[in-house]
């Protein structure tokens, strides 16, 4: 699954997937996590475990953490879902 990291106006990045099949349905957008700058490092806040952030040393480490671990998390579904 392709995950894109979009820069938001508040200087955070959102980990999103667009137009993907998720749980048997074509989904417009999946919102996986936020990557937030925090005291010289980055925090990854998953949508399904928002109160348990993961701290990473760099933005690249945070991106790698999301790419390596997204399968064990449940994203927030934005947009519509369609049967395929």
Does the structure show a pLDDT above 90 at 28? yes
Secondary structure (DSSP) of 22-84: ETTEEEEEEEEEEEEEETTEEEEEETTSTTS-EEESSHHHHHHHHHHHGGGS-PEEEEEEEE-
Q: Locate 28 and state its tokens.
A: 């417009």
Length of the chain: 84
Does the structure show a pLDDT above 90 at 66? yes
Q: What is the pLDDT of residues 53-63, one digit of tens each?
A: 999 999 999 99
Q: Locate 58 and state its tokens.
A: 């760099």
Q: Locate 16 and state its tokens.
A: 């999103």
Q: What is the pTM of this model?
A: 0.90
Q: What is the pLDDT of residue 31?
A: 97
Q: What is the pLDDT of residue 79?
A: 86
Does the structure show a pLDDT above 90 at 1? no
Does the structure show a pLDDT above 90 at 84? no
């Amino acid at each position: 699954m392709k995950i894109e990291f979009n820069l938001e106006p508040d200087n955070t990045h959102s980990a999103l997937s667009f137009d993907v099949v998720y749980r048997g349905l074509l989904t417009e957008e999946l919102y996986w996590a936020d990557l937030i700058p925090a005291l010289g490092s980055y925090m990854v806040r998953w949508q399904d475990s928002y109160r348990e952030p993961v701290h990473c040393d760099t933005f690249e480490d945070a991106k790698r953490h999301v790419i390596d671990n997204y399968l064990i998390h449940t994203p927030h579904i934005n947009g519509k879902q369609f049967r395929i």
